[in-house]
Structure 1
Amino acid sequence: MTTLLQIKTSVFSDHGHSTQLANEFVAQWQKHHPDGRVVVRDLGSEPLPHLSAERVQAFFTPPEQRTPAQQAHADASQELIDELKAADVVVIGLPLYNFGVPSTLKAYFDHLARNGITFRYTANGPEGLIADRKVYVFAARGGFYKDTPADSQTPFVKAFLNFIGLKSLEFVYAEGLNVSEDAKRTALQAASQQIEQLAA
């Protein structure tokens, strides 16, 4: 059975434009994969805890030396990693908040980044340990930032996903959503057309 993991990051959950675009893709994907399974992780409604010294120490402590509390932290991280590994396709809804990714997505990434588990350092540089699979990122922005120095979001997401082994990335942008109704309508229509092509 093919599994799609959908990661929602908007603080508005299903009311956010990034989530709506991602939902549109998932609906199209399900038409082409009627036996497929969709797993949803909504970081907006169920945010993960941000990193703390206690959590980092739990990750660094050898399993046989962990306290029960440290093991619980490590297990929570491992659950997210296993969920990602089990997915054949990953879909991320990505709003732009103050020139960056939602802090909830950063927290999610921080729980995925585990030396020796999702990546490792070698004499030839870092190596991602997550097997590559298709990742679709639906980026919604109030203004126009794509391919400008103000878009720190795209390089960061690419760099992190590549770092853990995910290199087959497809970005779909809907920009200018807060500029005018015409700009919003045009952007969402263009994104929908791209979604139809990608999901076919």
Structure 2
Amino acid sequence: MATLLRIDSSASGDNSKSRQLANEFIEQWLAKNPGGKVVVRDVNANPLPHFTSETLGALFTPEEDRSAEQQAIVAIGDELIDEIEAADVVTISAPVYNFGIPSTLKSYFDYIARAGRTFKYTETGPVGLLNKDAYLFVASGSFLAETPMDHQVPYLNTFLGFVGVTVKETFIAGGQALGQPGEESFNQAKAKIASAA
């Protein structure tokens, strides 16, 4: 049975355009994979603790020496990594907040980036270990894609590549604060999803 891990991050709930695009894709994925399972990780509804000195200390403390508090901190990342390792495909829906991804999604990435588990260092540079495919669904109030102000899509591609996740396709709805141009962009993204399926 195929498993899709759905990661959502928008604070807009059902009104989120990035989530709505993910809905379109997942509906078609389920039609192709009728026995498929969708695991939902909503980092807005269930935000993760920020990565702090306590987090770092817990990770660098040998397992047998960790306090109960440190064990609980490490267990957060363990659960998230287990979840993405078990997935066959990953979808990420993300808006742009102040020129970047939501801090809740950044916290998620901080927890799944673990040397020896999701990436390793080699003499020729880091190598990702997850070996997954991903689809991105992104939205922004203005048209930022492929401009110097786009710190969302390039970052997502860079981080995901670092942990061994290959972005197969990105569906972008720009201009969502601009009325008709935003509606047209959203509809174009939906049409792209339909043709990709």
Determine the C-alpha separation between the residues in 1 that align with 2:100 and 2:186: 21
Equivalent residue for 1:167?
A: 166
Contact 1:92/1:138 (<8 A) preserved: yes
Provide the rounded CA distance (Å) in 2 between the counterparts of 1:118 and 1:144: 33
Structure 1 counterpart of 2:181, one-letter code: A
Consecutive aligned runs of 4 or more in structure 1 exceeding 4 Å deviation: none
Structure 2 matches for 1:37-56, cutoff 5 A?
37-56=37-56
Q: Does residue 1:34 correspond to 2:34, yes or no? A: yes
Contact 1:140 1:173 in 2 (8 A): yes
Task: Name whichever of 99-108 and 12-21 sits farther off.
Answer: 12-21
Distance 1:142 1:35 in 2: 36
Structure 1 vs Structure 2: percent identity of aligned residues? 47
Q: How does 1:1-200 map to 2 (within 5 A)?
A: 1-131=1-131, 133-180=132-179, 182-198=180-196, 200=197
Measure how far apart 1:118 and its partner are: 1.1
Give yes or no for contact 1:12–1:44 (8 Å, CA) kept in 2: no
Q: 2: distance between equivalents of 1:88 and 1:72?
A: 27
RMSD between aligned alpha carbons?
A: 1.1
SS state at 1:20 partner: helix
User: Are the equivalent residues in 1 in contact too, given 2:100–2:151 (CA < 8 A)?
Assistant: yes
Structure 1 portions without partners, runs of 5+: none
Write the letter of the residue equivalent to 2:189.
A
**Alignment length (residue pairs):** 197
TM-score (norm 2): 0.96
3-state SS of paired residue (1:196) = helix
Q: Distance in 1 between matches of 2:60 and 2:116?
A: 10
Q: Distance in 2 between matches of 1:196 and 1:169?
A: 15
Aligned mates of 1:128, 1:82 — CA distance in 2: 15
Cα 1:82/1:12, change in 2 over 3 Å: same
